[in-house]
Amino acid sequence: LAKTTQPISMDSYEGQEVNITCSHNNIATNDYITWYQQFPSQGPRFIIQGYKTKVTNEVASLFIPADRKSSTLSLPRVSLSDTAVYYCLVGGFSGGSYIPTFGRGTSLIVHP
Amino acid sequence: DGGITQSPKYLFRKEGQNVTLSCEQNLNHDAMYWYRQDPGQGLRLIYYSQIVNDFQKGDIAEGYSVSREKKESFPLTVTSAQKNPTAFYLCASSSTGGDYYEQYFGPGTRLTVT
């Protein structure tokens, strides 16, 4: 299973764009990249998923370079409510079953 | 509304007692998962099940047991053999179809054992 590396924490201010980069050097050809958001004492929530280039939804954008060895989650104009932990997951198939692995994630704190 | 429910939200037990955490989903998902989360840590997989009457150990299965008698239900028992059971427990489910990668999580159960 591909290992991911993310910054432990990040700080930002309301209204700014936040970019969180995840490294996954040993990503496999058929691995997808998925991001989750978790608030304290809640279960994670799916944000976005992609394979290559750029994916955008109503919440975030995901940028994946051609070599796919990293990915960047972009949160436009963050607010205080975006303070959360963000997890990057890659691949996860083992023996025909999808078994995602959550690392420690990136703790984002948005300041007023 | 479709979703996953976990009960209770908070649970207190004495050492040496087994305790069962409930997880129910009405999303018609085949796959269900149990995770454990300790303060400041990510989620660690305890058990998972891809189909009724079948389940597999995750990374930290020792001291835990599960059953999957119905598609909707995946209860987790924390046994007295679990050395450090105090933690936040999360249940999740997902499709095994095209959107398999999107897991839906319950609100969690915070277990405290003293």
DSSP of A44-72 = -EEEEEESSEEEE-SS-EEEE-TT-SEEE
pLDDT-based confidence at residue B96 (cuts at 50, 70, 90): confident
The reply to whether omega before B85 is within 30° of 0 (cis) is no
Query: Lowest-pLDDT range, A91-105, B30-44, B90-104?
Result: A91-105
Is residue A1's pLDDT more than 60?
A: no
Q: Cβ A32–B48 below 8 Å, yes or no?
A: no
pLDDT score recorded for residue A29: 87
Q: Which of A99, A93, A89 is nearest to A48 (CA)?
A: A89
Which residues make beta-bridge pairs with A105?
Answer: none
Using CA coordinates, name the residue in chain B closest to A103: B42
Is residue A3's pLDDT more than 90?
A: no
Query: Lowest-pLDDT range, A1-15, B10-24, B73-87?
Result: A1-15
pLDDT score recorded for residue B67: 98
Average pLDDT over residues B91-110: 88
Mind listing the pLDDT tens digit for each residue in A54-73?
A: 999 999 999 999 999 999 99
Closest CA–CA distance from residue A104 to any residue of chain B (Å): 4
Q: Is the CB of B41 inside 8 Å of chain A's CB atoms? A: yes
Average pLDDT over residues B13-41: 94
- CB contact at 8 A, B6 and B104: no
Computed from CA positions of residues A6, B40, B46, B8, in that sequence, does the dihedral angle turn out positive or negative?
negative
Q: Cβ B42–A87 below 8 Å, yes or no?
A: yes
Mind listing the pLDDT tens digit for each residue in A71-84?
A: 999 999 999 999 99
Average pLDDT, chain A: 92
Q: Cβ B108–A100 below 8 Å, yes or no?
A: no
Mind listing the pLDDT tens digit for each residue in B54-80?
A: 999 999 999 999 999 999 999 999 999
Judged on CB neighbours under 10 Å (0-12, 13-18, 19+), A53 is exposed
